Amino acid sequence: MSQPNRLASGGLIDRTRPLAFTFDGRTYSGHPGDTLASALLANGVTLVGRSFKYHRPRGVLTAGSEEPNALVELRTGARREPNVKATVAELYAGLEASSQNRFPSLAFDLLAVNQLASPVFVAGFYYKTFMWPAKLWEKLYEPLIRRAAGLGRAAEAADPDPYEKTTAHCDVLVIGGGPAGLAAALAAGRTGARVILADEDFALGGRLIAERRELGGQSAARWADEAEAELANLPEVTVLRRTSVLGAYDGGVYGAVERVSDHLREPAPHQPRQRFWRIVAKRAVLAAGALERPIAFGGNDTPGVMFAGAVRAYLNRYGVAPGRRAVVYANNDDAARTVADLNAAGCELVAVVDARGDSPALHAAARTAGALLVFGGAVARAYGGQSVKGCEIVDARGGSFNVACDLVAVSGGWNPTIHLTTHLGGRPQWRDDLAAFAPGGTPPGMTVVGAAAGAFGLGEALAAGAQAGAEAANDCGFSGGTFDPPRADDDSGETRGLGPWRVPAKRGKAFVDFQNDVTVKDVELAAREGFRSVEHLKRYTTLGMATDQGKTANVLGLALMAEITGRSIPATGLTLTRPPFTPVALGALGGAHRAKEFKPTRLPPSHFWAEEQGAVFVETGLWMRAAYFPRAGETDWLETTIREVETVRTKVGVYDASTLGKIDVQGADAGAFLDHVYINTFSTMPIGKARYGLMLREDGIAMDDGTVARLGETHYYVTTSTAHAASVMRHLEYCRQWLFPHLDVHLSSITDQWAKYAIAGPRSRDVVAALADDGFDVSDAGLPYLGVKELTVCGGTRARLFRLSFSGEMAFELAVPARYGDALIRAIMAAGEPFGICPYGAEALSVMRIEKGHAAAAELNGQTTAADLGLGGMMSKKKDCIGKVLSQREGLADPARPRLVGFKPVDRSQRLRGGAHFVPRGAAVTAANDEGYMTSVAYSPSNGCWVGLGFLARGQERIGEIVRAVDPVRDGDVEVEVVAPVFVDPEGVRVRG
């Protein structure tokens, strides 16, 4: 296939291998080393995209990641990626790209009708219109706007490719692999320091491979190759190509993304598509180069108008002529290189327009190329619609004439790429000598070199890079190994863009922000309406808010606002850029944390056994808990749950309680410590006893509950709720280390170290007795209710046995080291079989705790006090504890607060719902009559009806009253009887066995 604009020779492409690819369904050919943009240009494709608002035809403006125009959808199906910059998309065989934001086709886009309405669609017009009638906004105006806006389309299915994240530590991070960055990496690397060199491009060299330059007597591209080869051989140096450093964060942390597989059709097996790097660097050298900027003239967005530096990159790096008849328009001496390179490539130079006065360098180049030379002039307008056909040139005397051309190479000067210097608050400084912003403050440990620091000469970039690299390594304790940069063929070229910023408009729109279609007129309108600060300008016109984040637009926009308002540029302001430097795939930031791997999964010791039993599991925080154990013939969870509850209440059941938090508390002051953190007293509790405990936050609200057992004189064992295990542990360590540092006490979390099973029911003692080794008395006398003892089970396995009950039945909690957990559940089931044991899950547990009125997460919701929970009487009057003082505030001690009570439906066949609110009978269902809410409900087999717990205003005084439980979100309205919050064995006989 022909590539009409491919030069006969030159470029860093592999001409021996053709790569077929498609754009909008048409097949083209390129070569390894091409980007999609260079390959399209080689094939003579100049119309690549449509702009955001006016749907204007757009081509390729740049050769890098700052590209505002040439955005495409890459790949198809679930791998479809919107808004890919063709200028950085590496070509591979079979690449499929489509233009976006057009309908029905790129060449014929109906929405280009917006251009006709562009006199209306100026900056901020939305704010002035679409207000009437109000209800049409969501129904009509907004959907139309949304459909027209946006750019590419996201995929509609889950991204099939994997991503990963990694952390790296280094002495010196070098950002950018151009001349300054290579010099820095070599200088640092030769000292033996750990160096990471990251460059967003797939080839190192930066401008070295985009220009025809010489270094140390050889081509600069060759020198870059050799530098890369040496770096690859230095053992402590890591070179990350295709890696964009996106952001600087506190503490020398940098975020970067490596496009591991984007240059392949799809990732190789076991390889991620992209890898997110957290790079922790002691020192950083920013060598990010500079970005060329536009000049605002009419039609400056026409395909074929291209940055001069990009023109040179396409000629020299890719062997592509972006046009055959060129006009060069510049305000700096870079124009001379552009002219020379175009001439060397055999392109016709129609005209060279220098906005400045006479320039000897340019004179020579233009004469050699035989070009018409216009000093002090301007390109007033480019024309041609979908590709440039000519431009109107104004000379210094104001005369104008048209020339035919198919390429306008523009340079409005260069802006140092200082984005990363601003991420931690560094404020760029305007430098008149550069006519650009240069780094102000930098993140700690960062040095900026080369063009990024405003040193545009090749020789000075190499020297500064070498010096910064060596100094950074020295700062990290490395020395020796020297690097003398090669001699550069530097000229003393003037690279300042000295204006003008714009050409007085004749016809055609002059664009400032290409992608967002912000024109000079929009900036003028913003100024007229008072949006004169940079922040207002940006937000009102959307200047700098496109996918290139204003890399090509911001300084021009600021300069125009300064000009319009008669202020200097620094007085007009500056826009701090935000991370990321270039857009980053959300998949990369998410890494492997998606789907089932979103969060870790914790499995209790009986999990695999429970799986064998066919248990149904439920996510509880990070834990997977067995919810219920269905048997053949059971049809729903409720039937199974009722059977499990009844088995416990009549025979015996077993439940894996290992998910409760467990904390070992030891030390001479362990009892005193617990007295500080619980409302009740544990220092006087006898050894071998356990008791329920409640702890408060310092603000007097209930924090968590659990049991505390005393295993020895100086040894306690504390349990927490499953949900609060980590936060309670943190709280206790805070109390121990910070509030009560003089106490002799130590804490260890042993949640994962012990497996624990609750064995509950009238036959539970039989099961426990069968497990306990000889000589351990588990009779009521040997282990009465609330007793604790250490013993061995199953022939010598160390265990702890607690006579505690959550279910209200006689019950034991049997704990063994976690590695025996699986064996123990099997042993319990075997020992229990003669007594009719069944395993029960979280559902049955919940039913039984509600039947007993025990508070759980729904009641301990962070808004309730001990008194609200009916536990006010537990609070010791003899001692202080965390939260005691503030729990006495009038608002918390108010007797009118909702208190925990029980509820039964008056019509016993009706179902109760958690989250229902209580209103008095006969009262309107309004907030004024809201008296509380239902927290937990369950079907109680023992009561033969639904029962509930909830908080009702002055509930403890209203036992026997009937109120309504209203549930408007589920159309529920049930009359309920207020009862004491205990539905089974209110006297507590059964637990005592």
Partner 1 sequence: MSTDRYSIFSVLREALRGHTGWKPAWREPEPKAEYDIVIVGGGGHGLATAHYLARVHGITNVAVVEKGWIGGGNVGRNTTIVRSNYLLPGNTPFYEHSMKLWEELEQDLNYNAMVSQRGVVNLFHSDGQRDAYARRGNAMRLHGVDAELLDVPELKRILPMLDFDNARFPIKGALRQRRGGTVRHDAVAWGYARAADGRGVDIIQNCEVTGFRIEAGRILGVETTRGFIGAKKVGLACAGNSSRVAAMAGLRLPIESHALQAFVSEGIKPFIDTVCTFGAGHFYISQSDKGGLVFGGDIDGYNSYAQRGNLPTIEDVAEGGMALMPAIGRVKLLRHWGGIMDMSMDGSPIIDRTPVAGLYLNAGWCYGGFKATPASGWCFAHLLATDAPHEVAAAYRLDRFATGRLIDEKGVGAQPNLH
Partner 2 sequence: MRIPCPYCGVRGLDEFAYLGDATLIRPDPAAPGAEAAFHDYVYLRDNPAGLHRELWQHASGCQSWLVVTRDTRTHAIGRVEVARDVAAARGSGAE
Residues that bind partner 2 (CB under 8 A): 167, 249-253, 278, 280, 424-425, 444, 676, 698-699, 730, 733-734, 737-742, 880, 884-886, 888-889
Question: Which region, judged by CB under 8 A, interacts with partner 1, from 342-350, 377-385, 695-703, 833-841?
Answer: 695-703
What is the closest distance, in whole angstroms, from the C-beta atom of residue 256 to partner 2 in the complex? Answer: 16
Amino acid code (one letter) for 923: A
Helix (H), strand (E) at residue 308: helix 308-316
916 binds, among partner 1, partner 2, none (CB under 5 to 8 A by kind): partner 1
Q: What is d(CA 833, CA 838) in angstroms, rounded to the nearest whole number?
A: 8
Nearest-approach distance from CB 622 to partner 2, in angstroms:
14
Residue in 138, 433, 713, 774 binding partner 1, rule: CB under 8 A:
138
DSSP code, position 207: G
920 forms part of the interface with partner 1 (CB under 8 A): no
Residues 559-588, mask of contacts with partner 1 (x by CB under 8 A): -------------------xxx--xxxxx-
Comparison of 348 and 699: residue with beta carbon closer to partner 2? 699
Select the residue interacting with partner 1 from 17, 169, 507, 599 (CB under 8 A). Answer: 599
In angstroms, the CA 626 to CA 641 distance is: 12
Angle between helices 179-189 and 220-233 (to 10 degrees): 30
Q: Does 781 bind partner 1 (CB under 8 A)?
A: no
User: Please, are residues 855 and 869 in contact by the beta-carbon 8 Å criterion?
Assistant: yes
The site partner of 676 among partner 2, partner 1, none (C-beta below 5 to 8 Å per kind) is: partner 2
Q: Please count the other Cβ atoms lying within 10 Å of the Cβ belonging to residue 766.
A: 18
Q: 46: left (phi > 0), else alpha (psi -120 to 50), else beta? A: alpha
Residue 535 contact partner, candidates partner 1, partner 2, none, CB within 5 to 8 A by sort of partner: partner 1
Q: CA-based angle 88:92:96, to the nearest 5?
A: 85
How remote is the C-alpha of 21 from its chain's centroid? 33
Nearer to partner 2, 617 or 740 (CB): 740
Residue 459 binding result from partner 1, partner 2, none, given CB thresholds of 5 to 8 Å by partner type: none
Q: Considering only residues 503-522, where is the footprint of partner 1 by CB under 8 A?
A: 521
Q: How far is the CB of 954 from partner 1 (least distance, A)?
A: 17
| Residue with Cβ nearer partner 1 (221 or 520) | 520
Distance CA 81, CA 277 (A): 21
Show the tokens assigned to 945.
């009806």
Query: Does position 536 bind partner 1 by CB under 8 A?
Result: yes
User: Which residues, numbered 544-563, are part of the site for partner 1 (CB under 8 A)?
Assistant: 545-547, 549
Minimum Å gap between C-beta 739 and partner 2 is 5
Q: Which is nearer to partner 2, 108 or 738 (CB)?
A: 738
Instruction: Answer with the entry of partner 2, partner 1, none that 608 interacts with (C-beta below 5 to 8 A by kind).
Output: none
Phi, then psi, of 833 in degrees rounded to 5: -55, -45
Any contact of residue 921 with partner 1 (CB under 8 A)? no
Buried b (16+ CB within 10 A) or exposed e, 164-192: bbeebebbbbbbbbbbbbbbbbbbbbbbb
Near partner 1 by CB under 8 A: residue from 110, 116, 131, 668: 131
Nearer to partner 2, 202 or 249 (CB): 249
Q: What is the DSSP letter of 267?
A: P
| CA dist., res. 825 & res. 177, Å (int) | 61
CB 320 within 8 A of CB 41: yes
Q: Pattern of binders to partner 1 over 700-739, x per CB under 8 A?
A: xx--------------------------------------
Q: Hey, which residues does 532 pair with through a beta bridge?
A: none
Q: How far is the CB of 254 from partner 1 (least distance, A)?
A: 9
137 in contact with partner 1 (CB under 8 A): yes
Backbone dihedral region of 565: left (phi > 0), alpha (psi from -120 to 50 degrees) or beta? alpha
Amino acid of residue 500: P
**Which of partner 2, partner 1, none binds 936 (CB below 5-8 Å, type-dependent)?**
partner 1
- Beta carbon of residue 779, minimum distance to partner 1 (angstroms, whole number): 39
Instruction: Pick the closer one to partner 1 by CB: 328 or 949.
Output: 949
| DSSP assignment of 709-770 | EEEETTEEEEEE-STTHHHHHHHHHHIIIII-TTS--EEEE-TTTEEEEEEESTTHHHHHHH
Distance CA 323, CA 341 (A): 12
Residues 30-69 that bind partner 1 (CB under 8 A): 52
> For residues 216 and 487, is the Cβ–Cβ distance under 8 A?
yes
User: Considering the complex, what minimum distance in angstroms separates the CB of residue 298 from partner 1?
Assistant: 15
